[in-house]
């Protein structure tokens, strides 16, 4: 195997035909200004070529897509290993995904609880045992006299498949009927099952009445069911359809109704006679909140329920439901038809007049309209389904107006059925263990011992759990709780979870390409991450990291610095080699900062926090915050810092932002726990500038988000050619049929489903990525088509539109905050979280300041080089100097030292954090011996810091 990775003639994006030789099995950092070509080299060239070669080794089915898979623009690459990319982007937005599920810890916990858990009654705490035959009979005869019921033997519970052979075997054994997904079928008429869906299958042993004369037959039927299913039997009461005759209704009109009164599960193993609770045989899916056998039925395994706010749904009680009673704002998407159908169903069920005013309707009708009944889903169910299934952010936002989310009272937010929460290990159920932080869970399982025969079962499971917890600790994620939803994690946390998963796999000879893994880490925690990355190299892997963090660069075996500028001014290798070898590279901006020739200066004068008006939060106690009091001086540049998991986001986002947003905009966010807030009247607007994408499809881009595109389309519509062709402004929108390319519907790319591989986006062959049809592209402004303009970087567009003030001003703001290299039409799906945040910041800078606005930013230095941070700080100062308050959550020491006021939380993460460790100017915090932030700030504030 080659000892080097050799790259010759790389020209991807802005790369200038570069050639490079990199050492294998080493820790390599690629750095440079934003837009200098780092990602183009690391991801679009090295990783992409490695991925392409891997796909070539797959089957012909996968290879049929290769002619459309773009080959990196490079002459030659050798020495590549199989490549794995670990990026910051969220790989799921599903609220069901948690830290424990994506790391597979929860899968092993489910298996552990199912195999060795002690089953207790969740109501009385009794250790459950077997049900006797007499106890089963007593429960059957507790049904109403004469009740008809089926005796069933459960065979399949929530498993995928067609089960043709099972049905054939049942016929051979003399059975004639089976219940499939709750419906009775003759075995010779069972419909073909969808093999990709989960099914419940029970064979019908007998159909009986709850009468004394059938006692012996009932006993024999139960015995048969228990024997045939391996210890379980199901008694299901038959509910007749009133529209059918008694004879016709007999076995075919069975309606499955949830609840113990209509369905009784018997087991020879688990039963609480005192509370009449039956659990049956436990399997891993009983502990899954994604399975109907484990999920709480009230919240469907989400832990939270959304309730319709009736006062917002009903606008005028004096009018009928379909004629003015309902708020028109709820008629979005397909809701008008859904709500109309619901009202007509209720009318047929309850027999009320559609002309009756809402206030005069019977209580049961109004209740069923919102909450539904046993047969009809109410409005709350329809809106909840829409909220959790829609992929449209606009529809989700409109739905949220009518919903209020609360912790599910049925499961107390635990996501699982109450009876499942009675299964314990060391006195803790699986919900309680999932609420542990990684550190707490590690301590819990390190002392875990199982005696007897179960030790052999538990040992391999415990080994997997402990290893995965240890890997998460090693990448600095010990503060995360196992039940933390993945969609609430920062990009850096997502990436470090992926790193932990890769280490657990234990691969060797792999090329790992990472994108800024230090994001979200306090300087104190960075050492753990670097040690972990080193361990990957020790396993004979090559690790290439795109990074700006100074400590990471200093720890690298080999550094590649691209530049010297961004966009067209970048794309060249200005320095490469070991750190000591590149210190004389004159063109390298990175080297200039590392050697101290350039630096971000400490402000000569800071705004006085003592005389400023103040917003004070008292008794903040959400999550790990320990009833702290925090003062925010207004009109200043404030930085909230602390080690990872110390409570920064909880304080700023869950309490401060949500409380102010509810107060100012009359929203109904659930606010984190606190006692009181004073000084809020001094804020008349609160703006959170986060790292969420500016759009989730290739259609969204910087031009559309900043409204630049509106003015550009208007400009094209005013050209002579457009007026001659009678083209309006809408003709130049790639979202409308008139002017867009219909092959890709204006996206410029087409999505290819790769079956077992992630979907790929490839350039549209019809328009070749231009988004528009030929007729639209015939119109030009200053010799450029609308597609040409969207392909311009901000810096070039600024010169191109210099004579158009409304466009020039918006472009100038983007240039000032270091985004001059971004193309106007660059797809939002290709932007980093930091780039998306700075686009939003630029948009806010262009708005009229109120002087009483609170701007909140989370890690705005994400993706920023030392030189770019200079521009960012200037932009934040511009917002502050307009009289506004700028509040950032940040770990970057260059930003901390420029702040007017620091709030340092800690001292540790998780349970060891949540305290206000230090407050004041950076100089004041640096003197606090209890502050980890202060310890690192000392060096940055002092002159003569160690340099290369």
**pLDDT tens digits, one per residue of 494-527:** 878 888 888 778 888 999 999 888 887 888 888 8
Q: What is the three-class DSSP state of 751? A: strand
Banded model confidence at residue 240, pLDDT cuts 50, 70, 90: low
Q: Which two tokens stand for residue 104?
A: 């597979």
Task: List Cα–Cα distances, 222 to 135, 171, 560, in angstroms.
Answer: 12, 20, 74
CA nearest neighbour of 606 among 937, 900, 902, 883: 900
Confidence (pTM): 0.72
Q: In sequence order, what are the residues at sequence separation of 6 or more whose Cβ sits closer than 8 angstroms to the Cβ of residue 259?
A: none
Residue 263 has pLDDT above 90, yes or no: no
Residue 301, preceding peptide bond in cis (omega within 30° of 0): no
Report whether 608 contacts 487 (CB < 8 A): no
Residue, of 460 and 377, whose pLDDT is higher: 460
Provide the b/e sequence for 326-338 (b: ≥16 CB within 10 Å).
beeebebeebeeb
Distance CA 449, CA 426 (A): 9
Task: Count CB atoms within 10 A of the CB of residue 559.
Answer: 24
DSSP for 224-273 reads HHHHHHTSEEEEEE----TTS-HHHHTTTT-----STTTEEEEESS-EET
Task: Count CB atoms within 10 A of the CB of residue 391.
Answer: 9
- Number of helices (H), then strands (E), belonging to the chain: the values are 35, 32
Least confident range from 280-284, 491-495, 662-666: namely 491-495
Distance CA 743, CA 760 (A): 16
Distance CA 551, CA 562 (A): 18
pLDDT digits (tens, 9 = 90+) for 303-346: 877 665 666 788 888 998 888 888 888 887 656 777 888 888 88
Report whether 190 contacts 181 (CB < 8 A): no
915-920 sheet: strands from edge to edge? 685-689, 853-858, 885-889, 637-642, 901-906, 915-920
Partnered with residue 562 across adjacent β-strands are 32, 573
Task: List Cα–Cα distances, 702 to 40, 391, 497, 578, in angstroms.
Answer: 19, 21, 30, 37
Least confident range from 136-140, 250-254, 833-837: namely 250-254
Least confident range from 453-457, 607-611, 885-889: namely 453-457
Residue 544 has pLDDT above 90, yes or no: yes
The secondary element (H helix, E strand) that includes residue 395 is helix 393-400
The secondary element (H helix, E strand) that includes residue 294 is none
User: Which letter does DSSP use for residue 647 in this model?
Assistant: S
pLDDT digits (tens, 9 = 90+) for 573-615: 999 999 999 988 989 999 999 988 888 888 888 999 999 999 9
Give the pLDDT of residue 307. Answer: 61
Residue 907, preceding peptide bond in cis (omega within 30° of 0): yes
Give the pLDDT of residue 424. Answer: 93
- Start-end of H helices in 768-804: 774-777, 786-790, 794-800
Residue 565 has pLDDT above 70, yes or no: yes
Distance CA 534, CA 555 (A): 10
Task: List Cα–Cα distances, 753 to 55, 60, 506, 750, in angstroms.
Answer: 14, 15, 29, 10
Distance CA 188, CA 170 (A): 10
Give the pLDDT of residue 756. Answer: 46
């Amino acid at each position: 195997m080659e000892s080097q990775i050799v790259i010759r003639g790389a020209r991807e994006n802005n790369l200038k035909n570069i050639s490079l030789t990199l050492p294998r099995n080493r820790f390599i950092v690629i750095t440079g200004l934003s837009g200098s070509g780092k990602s183009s080299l690391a991801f679009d060239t090295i990783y992409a070529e490695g991925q392409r070669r891997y796909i070539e080794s797959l089957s012909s089915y996968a290879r049929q897509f290769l002619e459309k898979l773009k080959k990196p623009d490079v002459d030659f690459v050798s020495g590549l290993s199989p490549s794995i990319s670990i990026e910051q982007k969220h790989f799921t937005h599903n609220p069901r995904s948690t830290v424990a599920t994506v790391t597979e810890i929860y899968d092993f916990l489910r298996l552990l609880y199912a195999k060795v858990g002690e089953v207790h009654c969740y109501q009385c705490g009794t250790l459950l045992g077997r049900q006797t035959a007499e106890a089963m009979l007593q429960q059957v005869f507790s049904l109403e006299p004469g009740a008809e019921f089926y005796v069933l033997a459960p065979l399949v519970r929530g498993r995928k498949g067609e089960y043709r052979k099972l049905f054939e075997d049942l016929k051979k054994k003399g059975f004639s009927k089976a219940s499939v997904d709750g419906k009775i079928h003759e075995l010779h008429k069972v419909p073909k099952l969808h093999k990709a869906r989960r099914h419940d299958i029970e064979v019908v042993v007998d159909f009986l009445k709850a009468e004394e004369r059938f006692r012996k037959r009932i006993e024999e039927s139960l015995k048969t069911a228990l024997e045939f299913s391996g210890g379980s039997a199901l008694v299901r009461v038959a509910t007749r359809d009133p529209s059918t005759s008694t004879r016709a209704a007999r076995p075919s009109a069975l309606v499955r109704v949830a609840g113990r009164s209509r369905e009784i599960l018997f087991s020879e193993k688990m039963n609480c006679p005192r509370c009449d609770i039956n659990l049956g045989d436990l399997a891993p899916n009983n502990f899954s909140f994604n399975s109907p056998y484990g999920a709480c039925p009230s919240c469907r395994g989400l832990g939270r329920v959304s309730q319709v706010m009736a006062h917002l749904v009903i606008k005028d009680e004096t009018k009928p439901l379909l004629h003015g009673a309902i708020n028109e704002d709820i008629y979005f998407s397909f809701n008008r038809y859904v709500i109309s159908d619901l009202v007509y169903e209720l009318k047929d069920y309850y027999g009320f007049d559609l002309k009756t005013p809402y206030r005069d309707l019977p209580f049961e009708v109004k209740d069923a309209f919102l909450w539904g009944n046993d047969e009809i889903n109410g409005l709350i169910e329809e809106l909840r389904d829409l909220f959790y299934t829609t992929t449209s952010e606009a529809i989700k936002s409109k739905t949220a107006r009518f919903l209020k989310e609360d912790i599910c009272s049925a499961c107390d937010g635990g996501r699982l059925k109450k009876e499942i929460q009675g299964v314990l290990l060391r006195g803790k159920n699986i919900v309680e263990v999932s609420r542990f932080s990684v550190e707490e869970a590690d301590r819990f399982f390190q002392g875990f011992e199982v005696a007897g025969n179960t030790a052999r079962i538990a040992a391999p499971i415990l080994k997997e759990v402990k290893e995965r917890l240890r890997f998460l600790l090693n990448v600095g994620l010990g503060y995360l709780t196992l039940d933390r939803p993945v969609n609430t994690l920062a990009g850096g946390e997502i990436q470090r979870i992926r790193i932990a998963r890769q280490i657990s796999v234990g691969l060797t000879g792999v090329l790992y390409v990472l994108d800024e893994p230090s994001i979200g880490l306090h300087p104190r925690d960075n050492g753990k991450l670097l040690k972990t990355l080193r361990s990957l190299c020790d396993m004979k892997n090559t690790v290439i990291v795109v990074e700006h963090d100074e400590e990471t660069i200093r720890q690298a075996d080999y550094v590649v610095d691209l530049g010297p500028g961004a966009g067209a001014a970048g794309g060249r290798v200005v320095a490469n080699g070991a750190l000591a070898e590149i210190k004389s590279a004159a063109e390298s901006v990175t080297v200039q900062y590392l050697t101290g020739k350039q630096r971000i200066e400490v402000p000569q004068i800071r705004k006085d926090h003592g005389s400023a008006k103040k917003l004070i939060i008292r008794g903040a106690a959400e999550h790990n915050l320990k009833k702290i009091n925090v003062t925010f001086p207004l009109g200043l540049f404030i930085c909230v810092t602390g080690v990872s998991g110390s409570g920064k986001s909880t304080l700023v986002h869950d309490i401060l932002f949500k409380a102010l947003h509810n107060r100012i905009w009359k929203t109904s966010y659930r606010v984190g726990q606190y006692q009181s807030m004073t000084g809020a009247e001094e804020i008349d607007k609160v703006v959170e500038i986060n790292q969420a994408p500016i759009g989730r499809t290739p259609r969204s881009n910087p031009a559309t988000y900043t409204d630049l595109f509106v003015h550009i389309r208007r400009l094209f519509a005013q050209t002579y050619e457009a007026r001659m062709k009678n083209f309006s402004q809408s003709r130049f929108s790639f979202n409308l049929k008139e002017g867009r390319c219909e092959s890709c519907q204006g996206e410029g790319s087409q999505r290819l489903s790769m079956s077992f591989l992630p979907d790929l986006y490839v350039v549209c062959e019809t328009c070749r990525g231009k988004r528009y049809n030929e007729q639209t592209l015939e119109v030009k402004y200053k010799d450029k088509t609308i597609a040409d303009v969207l392909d311009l970087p901000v810096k070039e567009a600024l010169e191109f539109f210099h004579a158009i003030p409304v466009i020039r001003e918006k472009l100038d703001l983007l240039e000032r905050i270091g985004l001059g290299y971004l193309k106007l039409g660059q797809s939002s799906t290709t932007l980093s979280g930091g780039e998306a945040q700075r686009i939003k910041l630029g948009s806010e800078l262009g708005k009229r300041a109120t002087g009483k606005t609170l701007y909140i930013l989370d890690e705005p230095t994400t993706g920023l080089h030392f030189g770019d941070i200079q521009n960012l700080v200037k932009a934040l100062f511009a917002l502050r100097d307009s009289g506004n308050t700028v509040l950032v959550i940040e770990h970057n020491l260059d930003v901390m030292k420029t702040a007017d006021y620091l709030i340092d939380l800690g001292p540790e993460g998780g349970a060891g954090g949540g305290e206000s460790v230090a407050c004041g100017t950076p100089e004041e915090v640096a003197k606090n011996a209890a502050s980890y932030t202060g310890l690192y700030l000392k060096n940055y504030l002092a002159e003569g810091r160690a340099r290369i």
